[in-house]
Amino acid sequence: MADADTEGAKNYRAEIPQKSEPFFLKGSNELDWGLKNRLANIFSPNSGRTVMLAFDHGYFLGPTSGLERIDLDIVPLTPYADTLMLTRGILRTTIPPTYTGGIVLRASGGPSILKELSDEEIALSVDEAVRLNAAAMAVQVFIGGEHETRSVHNMTRLVDAGNRNGIATLAVTAVGRDMARDAKYMRLATRICAELGATYVKTYYVEDGFDTVAAGCPVPIVIAGGKKIPEEDALELAHHAVQEGAAGVDMGRNIFQAECPVAMIQAVRKVVHEDLAPSQAYELYQTLKSEG
């Protein structure tokens, strides 16, 4: 029998007020405990930022360059990522369940690269996200695209289901082939996603005015790496993004298509989490690369 004598309990330290600390992520303080706990597995509570490794490209591209053998080329990078962004197919078949970082599951899809890309539907149930222990579900939102309204509604349906289950929703602002990638467009797209409930938003870095994109979005923004560029330039890109208000990167090709991906992800981490200057991060990249 448990001891029912509460008379002995005296260690209340009534003079010490209980701490009530704000959650470290922008716009996330009012979320429920489970959602915050999952976000703390995406973003580092120390730096407030994340290095997400994106390799979900196959959901519309098939086996793209650098992702032919995820088991051989991507799994070795996972210890250096705060979070993996991937499809459930790759998660189940290829990622060891011993991985304990955040999992962000691709949750929209449908058309291949051969078709109109904005024609996506929801492609993941929240039950499946729970079963796979996902921290977030990622959905493309095509502002200005042919199927803009449907893609926004895909997002809001995932937000509703995610909030019921304590799972975050990452809105990925997808820029159509003929659309301008400027700050005005990014402000529009990111703000719409946040207003309609996205927990955080992924967008592209723009050179002129990214700080206004980040400031105008009431939830954290992570930037996509985009097309492969020289390693030094990709480190510059990550540096500018975080210095101008991004809460990290969701980088794919500029890591896994780098000459030495395992060195590149470590250099990106230094820029994102430790504010290392891009020139020093590039030196680190070269040193790690030469060490093989």
Catalytic residues: 202
> Of 66, 225, 248, 278, which one interacts with ligand 5RP (CB under 6 A)?
225
How many amino acids of this chain bind ligand 5RP (CB under 6 A)? 13
If DSSP states are collapsed to H, E and C, what string results for 173-208?
Answer: ECCCCCCCCCHHHHHHHHHHHHHCCCCEEEEECCCC
10-69 residues in contact with ligand 5RP (CB under 6 A) are 54, 56-57
* 158 binds ligand 5RP per the rule CB under 6 A: no
* 186 binds ligand 5RP per the rule CB under 6 A: no
- Give me the 245-264 binding string for ligand 5RP, x by CB under 6 A, dash otherwise: ------xxxx----------
> Of 166, 197, 226, 245, which one interacts with ligand 5RP (CB under 6 A)?
226
Query: Phi then psi for 124, rounded to 5 degrees?
Result: -160, 135
Q: What is the nearest approach in angstroms of ligand 5RP to the Cβ of residue 21?
A: 32
Nearer to ligand 5RP, 43 or 205 (CB): 205
The two three-digit tokens of residue 161, written as one number: 């289901």
* 172 binds ligand 5RP per the rule CB under 6 A: yes
Count of CB atoms within 10 A of residue 284's CB? 18
- Is the separation of the CB atoms in 91 and 103 below 8 Å? yes
| DSSP assignment string, 254-271 | HHHTSSSHHHHHHHHHHH
**CA triple 234-74-233, angle to 5 deg:** 5
The residues that touch ligand 5RP, with contacts defined as CB under 6 A, are: 54, 56-57, 85, 172, 174, 224-226, 251-254
